[in-house]
C-alpha cells in the first residue's frame, strides 16, 4: 500500500474472524481487565486510606499499581472495542498514542521496580538512617525523576518508530507493538529506532545489574542478623518485590528476545499477552498474599473481620 494510505491509519490483527469468537474475546478481555483494575485499585485504596501503610515502601507500591492500571488501559479497551464492533481499524494518531503510553508506562514500571530495590536496601542495610534518607521529599523527587525519565525514553522510542514511512498498514498484532511496526517501515530511518533499542538494552541491563547487586548486599546483611524472626521479617518485605521483578524481566525478555514472525501468528499473540497482561495481573496478588500488612489493610478496607 502507498505511504499515504498507511499514514491514514492501521489495521490490527483480529483474534478471530468468527463473530462468536470475537464476542468470546471481548468477554474474556473484559473479565481480565476488570480483575486487573480492581486488584490494583484495592492496593491503591489500601495505601491511601490505611495509616499503617503510610511509608515509602507502600508509597512506591501504590505508584506501581497506578502504572499497572494505566498500562492495561492503553490497549485492552481498544482491543475489546474492535472485537465488539467487528472492526480492526486504529487511526494513525491512535497508534502513536498507544506506542507512547505503552512505552512510558512500561519504562516507569521498570524504573520504579529498580527504585524499590534501593528502598529495600536502605531499609535493611541502613535502618537507622532509613527515615532520613527515604523521607517524603526524597520519595516525591524519586517518583518525579522516574516519570520524567520514562517520558524522555518514550518520546525517543515513539519518535524513532514513526520517523520512517510505512509500506503497509497491516499490523500482525492486536495493538500497535513496536517490533511489528518496524517490520512495516520502508526506509533506512528505522535505524533511528534500532539505535534507541540498543540504548534500551543498555539501560535495562544497567537496571538489572543494579537490582542484582542490591539484593546480593541485602541477603548478605540479612545473614548477619542474629534473630531468626528479624531475618524472616526482613526477607518477607523483599520477597514480593523480588517475585514481581523476576516476573517482569522474564516475560519481557522472553517477548523481545523472540523474533516476531513475518506472518500472522498465534504464538506472537500468546507471547504478547504473556508480557502485557501477566505482570499487572499478578502484582496485586503477590503483594496481597505475601505481605501481611497489605493483606490486613485490604481486609479492613473491605470491612472483613481481621483477627491477625
* In the predicted structure, residue 218 carries a pLDDT above the cut 80: yes
Hey, how many other C-beta atoms are within 10 angstroms of the C-beta on 235?
15
Residue 306 lies in a domain: no
**Overall domain count for the chain:** 1
Higher confidence at residue 165 or residue 122? 122
Higher confidence at residue 236 or residue 105? 105
Residue 92's pLDDT band (cuts 50, 70, 90): very high
Residue 231's pLDDT band (cuts 50, 70, 90): confident
Q: Average pLDDT of the chain?
A: 85
**Residue range(s) defining the domain that contains residue 138:** 3-301
Report field, pTM of the whole predicted structure over 0.85: yes
Residue 108 lies in a domain: yes
* In the predicted structure, residue 4 carries a pLDDT above the cut 80: no
pLDDT given at position 104: 95
Burial class (CB in 10 A: 0-12, 13-18, 19+), 94: middle
Residues 6+ apart with CB under 8 A from 112: 60, 63, 64, 67, 143, 146
pLDDT given at position 122: 92
Residue 307 lies in a domain: no
* In the predicted structure, residue 136 carries a pLDDT above the cut 70: yes
pLDDT given at position 240: 83
Rg (CA), the chain: 21
Percent of the chain, pLDDT > 90?
A: 39
Residue 301's pLDDT band (cuts 50, 70, 90): confident
Residue 308 lies in a domain: no
pLDDT given at position 3: 43
Residue 23 lies in a domain: yes
pLDDT given at position 256: 66
* In the predicted structure, residue 99 carries a pLDDT above the cut 90: yes
Higher confidence at residue 6 or residue 80? 80
- How far apart, in whole angstroms, are the C-alpha atoms of residue 16 and residue 34? 22
Residue 190's pLDDT band (cuts 50, 70, 90): low
Once rounded to an integer, what is the mean pLDDT over residues 291-306?
78
Instruction: Quote the cell numbers at residue 52.
Output: 499503617
CATH code at 167? 1.20.1070.10
Burial class (CB in 10 A: 0-12, 13-18, 19+), 197: middle
* In the predicted structure, residue 120 carries a pLDDT above the cut 70: yes
Residue 189's pLDDT band (cuts 50, 70, 90): low
Which tens digit of pLDDT belongs to each residue from 262-290?
A: 666 677 788 888 888 888 988 888 877 66
pLDDT given at position 185: 82
- How far apart, in whole angstroms, are the C-alpha atoms of residue 126 and residue 128? 6
* In the predicted structure, residue 24 carries a pLDDT above the cut 60: yes
Residue 257 lies in a domain: yes
Residue 207 lies in a domain: yes
Amino acid at each position: 500500500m502507498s505511504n499515504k494510505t498507511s499514514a491514514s491509519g492501521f489495521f490490527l490483527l483480529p483474534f478471530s474472524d468468527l463473530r462468536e469468537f470475537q464476542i468470546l474475546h471481548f468477554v474474556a478481555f473484559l473479565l481480565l481487565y476488570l480483575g486487573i483494575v480492581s486488584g490494583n485499585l484495592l492496593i491503591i485504596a489500601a495505601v491511601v486510606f490505611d495509616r499503617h501503610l503510610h511509608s515509602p515502601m507502600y508509597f512506591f507500591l501504590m505508584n506501581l499499581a497506578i502504572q499497572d492500571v494505566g498500562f492495561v488501559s492503553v490497549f485492552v479497551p481498544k482491543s475489546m472495542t474492535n472485537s465488539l464492533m467487528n472492526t480492526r481499524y486504529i487511526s494513525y494518531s491512535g497508534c502513536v498514542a498507544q506506542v507512547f503510553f505503552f512505552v512510558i508506562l512500561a519504562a516507569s514500571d521498570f524504573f520504579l521496580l529498580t527504585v524499590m530495590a534501593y528502598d529495600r536496601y536502605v531499609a535493611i542495610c541502613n535502618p537507622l538512617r532509613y527515615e532520613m534518607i527515604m523521607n517524603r521529599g526524597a520519595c516525591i523527587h524519586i517518583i518525579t525523576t522516574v516519570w520524567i525519565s520514562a517520558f524522555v525514553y518514550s518520546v525517543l522510542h515513539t519518535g524513532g518508530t514513526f520517523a520512517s514511512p510505512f509500506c503497509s498498514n497491516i499490523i500482525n498484532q492486536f495493538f500497535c507493538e513496536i517490533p511489528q511496526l518496524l517490520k512495516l517501515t520502508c526506509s533506512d530511518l528505522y535505524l533511528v529506532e534500532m539505535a534507541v533499542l540498543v540504548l534500551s538494552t543498555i539501560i535495562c541491563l544497567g537496571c538489572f545489574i543494579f537490582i542484582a547487586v542490591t539484593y546480593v548486599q541485602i541477603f548478605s546483611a540479612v545473614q548477619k542478623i542474629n534473630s531468626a524472626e528479624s531475618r524472616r521479617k526482613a526477607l518477607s518485605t523483599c520477597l514480593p518485590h523480588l517475585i514481581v521483578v523476576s516476573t517482569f524481566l522474564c516475560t519481557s525478555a522472553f517477548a523481545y528476545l523472540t523474533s516476531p514472525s513475518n506472518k500472522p501468528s498465534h504464538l506472537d499473540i500468546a507471547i504478547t499477552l504473556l508480557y502485557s497482561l501477566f505482570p499487572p495481573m499478578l502484582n496485586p496478588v503477590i503483594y496481597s498474599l505475601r505481605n501481611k500488612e497489605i493483606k490486613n489493610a485490604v481486609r479492613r478496607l473491605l470491612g472483613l473481620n481481621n483477627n491477625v
